[in-house]
Structure 1
Amino acid sequence: MLVSILVICVLAVPASAINFNTPESTVAEVMADPEYYDGTITIGTIAIVGTLTNISCDVRISEGEQSIAVDTRDRSMFEGFEEGDTVKMIGIFYYKRVGGSVFDPECVIHWPIANSKTVSIPELMENPQAYNGRKITVIGNLTDVRESGMGYRMNVEDGGRHLDIKFYGRTLLEAGTVVKATGIFIGGTMHADAVAKRETLPFGIAIPGFSGLLAAGMLAFAFVAASRTISKR
């Protein structure tokens, strides 16, 4: 029984997925009880909300006069962010009595998360910094889907440009399907919380001749309706 429970727990929580719903702590809360938040001993992964400072050099996440040093070995994580931005960092806090504590981020996102904006994949790939750490929606052709770890790795194409997607739900989608995906874009990859078949064309997409056919169809429908009304009289 115990083994079964452990297996279920492991299947329910993908180890490689970023948990964007990790509860937020403030810089002040972490600084007030650093031993409790120390990832090497107790709590593990946490999320800190604060202000980005010293972004051009030694990045820190700050709240008023208090701040925590941030590990910046992966500078690409901060592309598109600016000094003074409010962010949510998810990662591990390492408390050090001597030499200063440091936060090792797994990701950085703009906070609070705004409603997702629909972006074309070509636009996204041309200017990825503008969308780094933001929630977005894309529409395109699913060219590849395969199991990866506890989830799926997908490739979605639009206009000759491709987007890598990580999705940790369940799906029956197959290559060749037009899909709509929503998630947080980080370092060139979308971490999707929803990927579904696109049932209708997005507004703004023009199909040659479609507008004329639609107008003709509407006129024909109006004519038939009018004829039936007259005949009833």
Structure 2
Amino acid sequence: MATVGTALGPMLHNRFLIGLAKSFGVILASEIGDKTFFIAAVMAMRNPRMTVFAGAMGALAAMTVLSAALGWAAPNLISKVYTHYAATALFFFFGLKTLYDAFLKKDEGEESELEQVEHELSDMNKSKSAGSMKDMEKRKSSFMVAMLGMIFSQIFLKSFTLTFLAEWGDRSQIATIGLAASEDVVGVTIGGILGHAICTGAAVLGGRHLASHINERSVAIFGGVMFLLFGAHALWTGP
């Protein structure tokens, strides 16, 4: 019995480290220059940085835990073999799609992620200021909004909500689900949160200066290659 425990210890430790490293790498490869990155960067230009960071990280941490839980539950409903190869296929899909967008997709006349986020936030502020008093009273009458407003600041809620909605269905969320289905769920969760913390921290500290100097094509190429490498590793190691 002691021999079995001694043998399982290093194996579990290795699975944890692999899950952590893969999740950390996937987040760095997919979140730098992504929409959530620019939301934090643009909001931090006009609002307290710590509040923006706390709201964004709250949303990203919640999304990471939720995604990892979904991935962890998947093998209990579907065969481990199927979930592993489905996750592997997702890595190859995202890798090839990211490289396709970087090299072949025409970007003439298309806005960058930074410009899209700036326009969306600007339109949101305009619509908010142009809203009638009647609409404002309706929003204020919402019990849930009022309670949240008493606990959290409006900037925190805005950062949390925008980040959570932008992250939902994003490739990093799908990748986290796939990783948790085939790797150690604790390692995947911790690696994902650490990766998000670094990306969001860089966005909040660097602001627009950092965001405007990011070469989106280079970041996309790096991300695509990372996804393909993880897919190849998953295919080589097997379920």
TM over 0.5: no
TM-score, normalising length from structure 2? 0.21
TM-score, normalising length from structure 1? 0.21
Which structure's residues are more often strand, by fraction? 1
Q: Which structure would you say has the larger Rg?
A: 1
Which structure's residues are more often helix, by fraction? 2
